[in-house]
A and B are shown apart, each in its own frame.
Chain A
Protein backbone atom coordinates (compact mmCIF):
# COMPACT_ATOMS: atom_id res chain seq x y z
CA UNK A 1 0.00 0.00 0.00
CA UNK A 2 1.36 3.38 -0.89
CA UNK A 3 0.26 6.20 1.38
CA UNK A 4 -0.78 9.54 -0.01
CA UNK A 5 2.20 11.86 -0.14
CA UNK A 6 2.18 14.81 2.21
CA UNK A 7 0.63 17.96 0.85
CA UNK A 8 3.23 19.97 -0.90
CA UNK A 9 4.02 23.63 -1.19
CA UNK A 10 1.37 25.63 -2.98
CA UNK A 11 -0.97 22.64 -2.96
CA UNK A 12 -1.25 22.54 0.82
CA UNK A 13 -4.68 22.65 2.26
CA UNK A 14 -5.15 25.63 4.48
CA UNK A 15 -7.47 25.98 7.41
CA UNK A 16 -10.42 26.26 5.08
CA UNK A 17 -9.09 23.82 2.52
CA UNK A 18 -7.77 26.33 0.02
CA UNK A 19 -4.20 26.21 -1.17
CA UNK A 20 -1.86 28.99 -0.18
CA UNK A 21 -0.44 31.12 -2.91
CA UNK A 22 3.31 30.88 -2.81
CA UNK A 23 4.61 30.92 -6.34
CA UNK A 24 3.96 32.96 -9.41
CA UNK A 25 2.78 31.40 -12.62
CA UNK A 26 2.06 33.17 -15.90
CA UNK A 27 -1.32 34.76 -16.29
CA UNK A 28 -3.21 33.19 -19.14
CA UNK A 29 -6.65 32.32 -20.33
CA UNK A 30 -8.12 28.86 -19.71
CA UNK A 31 -7.56 26.65 -22.69
CA UNK A 32 -9.87 24.24 -24.37
CA UNK A 33 -8.55 20.67 -24.30
CA UNK A 34 -8.77 20.47 -28.08
CA UNK A 35 -6.30 23.29 -28.31
CA UNK A 36 -3.83 21.69 -25.95
CA UNK A 37 -0.99 21.46 -28.39
CA UNK A 38 -0.78 25.18 -28.78
CA UNK A 39 -1.48 25.80 -25.14
CA UNK A 40 1.97 25.35 -23.70
CA UNK A 41 2.88 28.95 -24.36
CA UNK A 42 0.83 31.08 -22.00
CA UNK A 43 -1.04 33.77 -23.90
CA UNK A 44 -1.10 37.31 -22.56
CA UNK A 45 -3.68 38.50 -20.12
CA UNK A 46 -6.65 39.60 -22.18
CA UNK A 47 -10.13 40.97 -21.88
CA UNK A 48 -11.62 37.79 -20.45
CA UNK A 49 -8.98 37.64 -17.74
CA UNK A 50 -9.69 41.23 -16.86
CA UNK A 51 -13.40 40.58 -16.61
CA UNK A 52 -12.60 37.58 -14.42
CA UNK A 53 -10.60 39.83 -12.11
CA UNK A 54 -13.48 42.30 -12.07
CA UNK A 55 -15.92 39.52 -11.21
CA UNK A 56 -13.72 38.41 -8.35
CA UNK A 57 -13.59 41.97 -6.98
CA UNK A 58 -17.37 42.27 -7.15
CA UNK A 59 -17.87 38.93 -5.40
CA UNK A 60 -15.45 39.92 -2.66
CA UNK A 61 -17.36 43.19 -2.35
CA UNK A 62 -20.55 41.28 -1.57
CA UNK A 63 -22.15 40.14 -4.82
CA UNK A 64 -21.84 36.48 -3.83
CA UNK A 65 -24.35 35.29 -6.39
CA UNK A 66 -21.85 36.09 -9.17
CA UNK A 67 -19.56 33.31 -8.00
CA UNK A 68 -21.58 30.71 -9.89
CA UNK A 69 -20.84 32.56 -13.13
CA UNK A 70 -17.19 32.99 -12.24
CA UNK A 71 -16.64 29.24 -11.89
CA UNK A 72 -18.99 28.00 -14.59
CA UNK A 73 -16.16 27.79 -17.18
CA UNK A 74 -14.12 25.69 -14.76
CA UNK A 75 -16.78 23.17 -13.77
CA UNK A 76 -15.58 20.55 -16.21
CA UNK A 77 -11.96 21.07 -15.17
CA UNK A 78 -12.87 20.60 -11.52
CA UNK A 79 -15.08 17.58 -12.24
CA UNK A 80 -12.55 15.78 -14.46
CA UNK A 81 -9.78 16.42 -11.97
CA UNK A 82 -11.87 14.89 -9.21
CA UNK A 83 -13.02 12.01 -11.42
CA UNK A 84 -9.44 11.25 -12.46
CA UNK A 85 -8.61 10.69 -8.82
CA UNK A 86 -11.70 9.00 -7.38
CA UNK A 87 -13.01 7.29 -10.55
CA UNK A 88 -16.60 7.65 -9.55
CA UNK A 89 -19.02 10.13 -11.11
CA UNK A 90 -21.16 10.54 -8.00
CA UNK A 91 -18.15 11.19 -5.77
CA UNK A 92 -16.62 13.49 -8.39
CA UNK A 93 -19.81 15.54 -8.45
CA UNK A 94 -19.88 15.87 -4.67
CA UNK A 95 -16.20 16.76 -4.61
CA UNK A 96 -16.80 19.40 -7.29
CA UNK A 97 -19.56 20.99 -5.25
CA UNK A 98 -17.44 20.96 -2.12
CA UNK A 99 -14.32 22.26 -3.87
CA UNK A 100 -16.18 25.12 -5.52
CA UNK A 101 -17.83 26.08 -2.26
CA UNK A 102 -14.44 26.10 -0.53
CA UNK A 103 -13.15 28.29 -3.34
CA UNK A 104 -16.03 30.67 -2.67
CA UNK A 105 -15.33 30.79 1.04
CA UNK A 106 -11.65 31.42 0.43
CA UNK A 107 -11.87 33.70 -2.57
CA UNK A 108 -10.26 36.55 -0.62
CA UNK A 109 -7.14 34.42 -0.28
CA UNK A 110 -6.78 34.15 -4.05
CA UNK A 111 -3.85 36.20 -5.31
CA UNK A 112 -3.80 37.28 -8.92
CA UNK A 113 -0.21 36.23 -9.50
CA UNK A 114 -1.62 32.74 -9.99
CA UNK A 115 -4.17 31.85 -12.64
CA UNK A 116 -7.61 31.38 -11.17
CA UNK A 117 -7.95 28.05 -12.98
CA UNK A 118 -4.75 26.79 -11.36
CA UNK A 119 -6.02 27.81 -7.94
CA UNK A 120 -9.38 26.13 -8.51
CA UNK A 121 -7.85 22.90 -9.77
CA UNK A 122 -5.56 22.79 -6.71
CA UNK A 123 -8.58 22.95 -4.45
CA UNK A 124 -10.33 20.22 -6.42
CA UNK A 125 -7.28 18.01 -6.25
CA UNK A 126 -6.94 18.49 -2.52
CA UNK A 127 -10.62 17.79 -1.97
CA UNK A 128 -10.42 14.60 -4.02
CA UNK A 129 -7.41 13.43 -2.04
CA UNK A 130 -9.27 14.05 1.19
CA UNK A 131 -12.17 12.00 -0.11
CA UNK A 132 -9.85 9.16 -1.01
CA UNK A 133 -8.32 9.16 2.44
CA UNK A 134 -11.68 9.20 4.14
CA UNK A 135 -12.85 6.30 2.02
CA UNK A 136 -9.70 4.40 2.88
CA UNK A 137 -9.09 3.61 -0.70
CA UNK A 138 -5.38 4.10 -0.43
CA UNK A 139 -4.93 0.43 -1.15
CA UNK A 140 -6.01 1.11 -4.70
CA UNK A 141 -3.59 3.96 -5.05
CA UNK A 142 -0.71 2.23 -6.69
CA UNK A 143 0.17 -0.57 -8.98
CA UNK A 144 3.56 -1.77 -9.98
CA UNK A 145 4.17 -1.67 -13.65
CA UNK A 146 7.50 -1.97 -15.32
CA UNK A 147 10.67 -1.45 -13.39
CA UNK A 148 9.90 1.63 -11.38
CA UNK A 149 12.90 2.91 -9.54
CA UNK A 150 12.23 6.39 -8.22
CA UNK A 151 15.80 7.45 -8.78
CA UNK A 152 16.54 5.36 -11.83
CA UNK A 153 15.07 4.86 -15.25
CA UNK A 154 11.64 3.54 -16.03
CA UNK A 155 12.01 0.61 -18.37
CA UNK A 156 8.99 0.05 -20.62
CA UNK A 157 7.64 -3.47 -20.30
CA UNK A 158 5.80 -3.61 -23.60
CA UNK A 159 7.02 -2.61 -27.01
CA UNK A 160 3.71 -2.86 -28.80
CA UNK A 161 3.75 -0.97 -32.06
CA UNK A 162 0.84 1.38 -31.58
CA UNK A 163 0.77 3.77 -34.45
CA UNK A 164 -2.89 4.39 -35.08
CA UNK A 165 -5.88 5.16 -32.93
CA UNK A 166 -9.15 5.04 -34.82
CA UNK A 167 -11.00 8.25 -34.05
CA UNK A 168 -14.01 6.25 -32.98
CA UNK A 169 -11.97 4.32 -30.40
CA UNK A 170 -12.87 6.70 -27.62
CA UNK A 171 -16.52 5.99 -28.25
CA UNK A 172 -15.79 2.55 -26.92
CA UNK A 173 -16.62 2.42 -23.25
CA UNK A 174 -13.96 -0.22 -22.73
CA UNK A 175 -11.15 2.05 -23.80
CA UNK A 176 -12.39 4.95 -21.69
CA UNK A 177 -12.77 2.65 -18.70
CA UNK A 178 -9.25 1.31 -19.10
CA UNK A 179 -7.91 4.85 -19.43
CA UNK A 180 -9.71 5.93 -16.25
CA UNK A 181 -8.47 2.86 -14.45
CA UNK A 182 -4.91 3.37 -15.65
CA UNK A 183 -4.81 7.02 -14.57
CA UNK A 184 -6.38 6.49 -11.17
CA UNK A 185 -4.17 3.51 -10.37
CA UNK A 186 -0.95 5.46 -10.80
CA UNK A 187 0.94 6.44 -7.69
CA UNK A 188 -0.40 9.79 -6.54
CA UNK A 189 2.81 11.67 -7.32
CA UNK A 190 2.67 10.56 -10.96
CA UNK A 191 -1.11 10.76 -11.33
CA UNK A 192 -1.28 14.35 -10.10
CA UNK A 193 1.29 15.54 -12.63
CA UNK A 194 -0.43 13.62 -15.43
CA UNK A 195 -3.81 15.15 -14.56
CA UNK A 196 -2.49 18.69 -14.51
CA UNK A 197 -0.34 18.36 -17.63
CA UNK A 198 -2.21 16.01 -19.94
CA UNK A 199 -5.82 16.28 -18.76
CA UNK A 200 -5.95 19.92 -17.70
CA UNK A 201 -3.17 21.06 -20.04
CA UNK A 202 -1.36 23.24 -17.56
CA UNK A 203 2.19 24.22 -18.50
CA UNK A 204 5.22 22.69 -16.80
CA UNK A 205 5.68 25.90 -14.79
CA UNK A 206 2.03 26.00 -13.75
CA UNK A 207 2.07 22.34 -12.76
CA UNK A 208 5.22 22.84 -10.74
CA UNK A 209 3.64 25.80 -8.95
CA UNK A 210 0.38 23.98 -8.31
CA UNK A 211 2.10 20.96 -6.77
CA UNK A 212 4.96 22.81 -5.09
CA UNK A 213 7.63 20.79 -6.89
CA UNK A 214 10.40 21.68 -9.32
CA UNK A 215 9.89 21.80 -13.08
CA UNK A 216 12.46 19.05 -13.37
CA UNK A 217 10.36 16.82 -11.10
CA UNK A 218 7.29 17.59 -13.19
CA UNK A 219 9.05 16.34 -16.31
CA UNK A 220 10.45 13.23 -14.64
CA UNK A 221 7.12 12.26 -13.12
CA UNK A 222 5.25 12.98 -16.33
CA UNK A 223 7.55 10.66 -18.26
CA UNK A 224 6.91 7.85 -15.81
CA UNK A 225 3.19 8.48 -15.76
CA UNK A 226 2.93 8.41 -19.54
CA UNK A 227 5.04 5.25 -19.82
CA UNK A 228 3.04 3.49 -17.14
CA UNK A 229 -0.28 4.35 -18.76
CA UNK A 230 1.13 3.18 -22.08
CA UNK A 231 2.21 -0.11 -20.54
CA UNK A 232 -1.22 -0.56 -18.98
CA UNK A 233 -2.98 0.03 -22.29
CA UNK A 234 -0.58 -2.07 -24.33
CA UNK A 235 -2.25 -5.46 -23.71
CA UNK A 236 -5.40 -4.12 -25.35
CA UNK A 237 -3.42 -3.18 -28.39
CA UNK A 238 -3.38 -6.75 -29.61
CA UNK A 239 -6.20 -5.75 -31.87
CA UNK A 240 -8.67 -5.40 -29.04
CA UNK A 241 -9.12 -1.66 -29.26
CA UNK A 242 -9.12 -1.76 -33.03
CA UNK A 243 -11.20 -4.86 -33.61
CA UNK A 244 -14.34 -4.84 -35.66
CA UNK A 245 -13.01 -2.84 -38.54
CA UNK A 246 -10.19 -2.50 -40.98
CA UNK A 247 -8.01 -0.86 -38.38
CA UNK A 248 -6.68 -4.06 -36.92
CA UNK A 249 -2.99 -4.36 -37.23
CA UNK A 250 -0.34 -6.54 -35.75
CA UNK A 251 1.09 -4.59 -32.90
CA UNK A 252 4.12 -6.56 -31.86
CA UNK A 253 6.18 -7.10 -34.97
CA UNK A 254 9.46 -7.78 -33.21
Chain B
Protein backbone atom coordinates (compact mmCIF):
# COMPACT_ATOMS: atom_id res chain seq x y z
CA UNK B 1 0.00 0.00 0.00
CA UNK B 2 1.47 3.31 -0.98
CA UNK B 3 1.65 6.22 1.43
CA UNK B 4 -0.22 8.89 -0.43
CA UNK B 5 -0.57 12.31 1.10
CA UNK B 6 -2.75 15.03 -0.21
CA UNK B 7 -1.10 18.43 0.02
CA UNK B 8 -3.45 21.33 -0.34
CA UNK B 9 -1.95 24.03 -2.52
CA UNK B 10 -1.78 27.53 -1.10
CA UNK B 11 -1.44 30.90 -2.77
CA UNK B 12 1.68 33.05 -2.91
CA UNK B 13 0.07 35.57 -0.55
CA UNK B 14 -0.57 32.84 2.01
CA UNK B 15 3.03 31.67 1.58
CA UNK B 16 4.32 35.18 2.29
CA UNK B 17 2.28 35.27 5.50
CA UNK B 18 4.00 32.13 6.66
CA UNK B 19 7.58 32.62 5.42
CA UNK B 20 8.93 34.27 8.54
CA UNK B 21 7.54 31.54 10.81
CA UNK B 22 8.84 28.93 8.37
CA UNK B 23 12.34 30.43 8.58
CA UNK B 24 12.04 30.18 12.36
CA UNK B 25 10.81 26.58 12.08
CA UNK B 26 7.63 27.67 13.78
CA UNK B 27 4.93 26.18 11.52
CA UNK B 28 3.00 22.96 12.00
CA UNK B 29 3.92 19.92 9.87
CA UNK B 30 0.92 20.30 7.59
CA UNK B 31 1.69 23.93 6.79
CA UNK B 32 5.36 23.06 6.37
CA UNK B 33 4.46 20.46 3.74
CA UNK B 34 2.23 22.96 1.92
CA UNK B 35 4.95 25.59 1.92
CA UNK B 36 7.64 23.25 0.67
CA UNK B 37 5.29 21.95 -2.02
CA UNK B 38 4.78 25.56 -3.11
CA UNK B 39 8.47 26.50 -2.98
CA UNK B 40 9.34 23.61 -5.29
CA UNK B 41 7.02 25.04 -7.92
CA UNK B 42 7.26 28.83 -7.44
CA UNK B 43 10.58 30.54 -8.15
CA UNK B 44 9.29 33.86 -6.89
CA UNK B 45 8.42 32.52 -3.47
CA UNK B 46 11.62 30.49 -3.35
CA UNK B 47 13.52 33.71 -4.02
CA UNK B 48 11.59 35.50 -1.26
CA UNK B 49 12.39 32.63 1.09
CA UNK B 50 16.10 32.70 0.25
CA UNK B 51 16.25 36.45 0.67
CA UNK B 52 14.44 36.35 3.99
CA UNK B 53 16.78 33.68 5.29
CA UNK B 54 19.77 35.72 4.21
CA UNK B 55 18.44 38.85 5.86
CA UNK B 56 18.03 36.95 9.14
CA UNK B 57 21.55 35.54 8.83
CA UNK B 58 23.06 38.95 8.02
CA UNK B 59 21.28 40.81 10.80
CA UNK B 60 22.18 38.13 13.32
CA UNK B 61 25.84 37.97 12.33
CA UNK B 62 28.26 39.23 14.95
CA UNK B 63 30.09 41.20 12.26
CA UNK B 64 27.06 43.33 11.48
CA UNK B 65 27.45 45.46 14.60
CA UNK B 66 30.98 46.35 15.59
CA UNK B 67 31.82 46.35 19.26
CA UNK B 68 35.44 46.45 20.26
CA UNK B 69 37.48 46.47 23.46
CA UNK B 70 37.95 50.24 23.35
CA UNK B 71 34.20 50.85 23.47
CA UNK B 72 33.86 48.31 26.27
CA UNK B 73 36.63 49.96 28.27
CA UNK B 74 35.08 53.40 27.95
CA UNK B 75 31.64 52.15 28.97
CA UNK B 76 33.09 50.26 31.93
CA UNK B 77 35.18 53.19 33.07
CA UNK B 78 32.36 55.72 32.84
CA UNK B 79 29.95 53.39 34.59
CA UNK B 80 32.38 52.65 37.42
CA UNK B 81 32.95 56.37 37.97
CA UNK B 82 29.26 57.16 38.12
CA UNK B 83 28.58 54.29 40.50
CA UNK B 84 31.44 55.34 42.75
CA UNK B 85 30.10 58.90 42.96
CA UNK B 86 26.51 57.80 43.42
CA UNK B 87 25.36 58.24 46.99
CA UNK B 88 24.62 54.93 48.68
CA UNK B 89 20.91 54.91 49.45
CA UNK B 90 17.83 52.95 48.62
CA UNK B 91 16.44 53.92 45.27
Q: What is the interface of chain A, defined by CB distance below 8 A to chain B?
A: 16, 33-34, 36, 40, 62, 64-65, 67-68, 71-72, 75-76, 79-80, 83-84, 89, 93, 96-97, 100-101, 104-109, 153-156, 159-163, 165, 169-171, 175-176, 179-180, 183, 194, 198-199, 201, 204, 219, 222-223, 226-227, 229-230, 233-234, 237, 253-254
Contact = CB atoms under 8 A, between A and B. Distances in A.
Interface of B: 13, 16-17, 19-21, 23-26, 43-44, 46-48, 50-52, 54-67, 71-72, 74-76, 78-80, 82-84, 86, 88, 90-91
Contact of B51 (A65, A108, A160, A253): A160
B83 A93 contact: no
Contacts of B24: 40
Contacts, number: 154
A68 B17 contact: no
Nearest to B13: A153
A75 B90 contact: no
Dominant secondary structure of chain A at its interface with chain B: helix
Contacts of A106: 91
A199 B65 contact: yes
Given A16-B91, A80-B67, A162-B54, A33 B82 contact: no
